[in-house]
Amino acid sequence: MLGEFEYMLITAAAGLGDDAYGAAIREEIEATTGRKCSIGALYTTIDRLETKGLLKTWMGDATPQRGGRAKRMVRVTPKGVVAAKAFYDAVTRVSRGASWVANRTGSAS
């Protein structure tokens, strides 16, 4: 079972598709969650997910914007998709009947 941050990282990478790399994933996570994403948390999680076979990474092109340094490109593997779907299904199932789900428009009772 994935952790919360692992799920967010996989989802962000999947959403970015061919443009998924460290800085873009970080920006996406920060924009959607409104929380700061440290570079340490990002890269150690990428390493862990790659070890588990849920992500594949390779070195991409260098750009002047990055001071001539290469990007670490990220792609979600089929195994990663299955793991993310399992996490999403579990969260959906466990959330059924929760006040904030049942009463979407009103306040929590």
Partner 1 sequence: MRSTGWSFVEAAARPLARDEREAVLGDLAEGNENSWQALLGVLGLVFRHEAVLWKNWRPWLAGFGVALPSSFLLMGFSLSVTWSYLTIRCPELLQKSSLTLGSGMLVLLCQGLLLIGWSWTGGFLVGSLSRRTLWASTLLCYSPCLFCLSRFRVESLSRFCLLLFLVPAIWGVHRGLRISRLTLSWAMALAVAITALMLPGWSSGAHEWWAPPQWTLDWALCWPAWYLVGTAWRARSKTGLGGSDGLWGGQREQQTGIS
**Which positions from 78 through 97 interact with partner 1, judged by CB under 8 A?**
none
Distance CA 30, CA 38 (A): 10
- Single out the residue of 17, 40, 78, 97 in contact with partner 1 (rule: CB under 8 A): 40
Distance CA 84, CA 76 (A): 10
Min dist. Cβ of residue 83 to partner 1 (A): 20
The distance from CA 76 to its chain's CA centroid, rounded to whole angstroms, is: 10
Residue among 47, 34, 35, 39 at smallest CA distance from 6? 47
Answer yes or no whether residue 34 interacts with partner 1 by CB under 8 A. no
First-to-last CA distance in the chain? 31
Which segment (16-24, 77-85, 87-95, 97-105) binds partner 1 by CB under 8 A? 16-24
Answer yes or no whether residue 9 interacts with partner 1 by CB under 8 A. no
Distance CA 87, CA 31 (A): 21
Min dist. Cβ of residue 95 to partner 1 (A): 31
The residue ranges that bind partner 1 (CB under 8 A) are 21-23, 26-27, 38-41, 43-44, 47, 50, 57, 59, 62-63, 65-67, 69-72
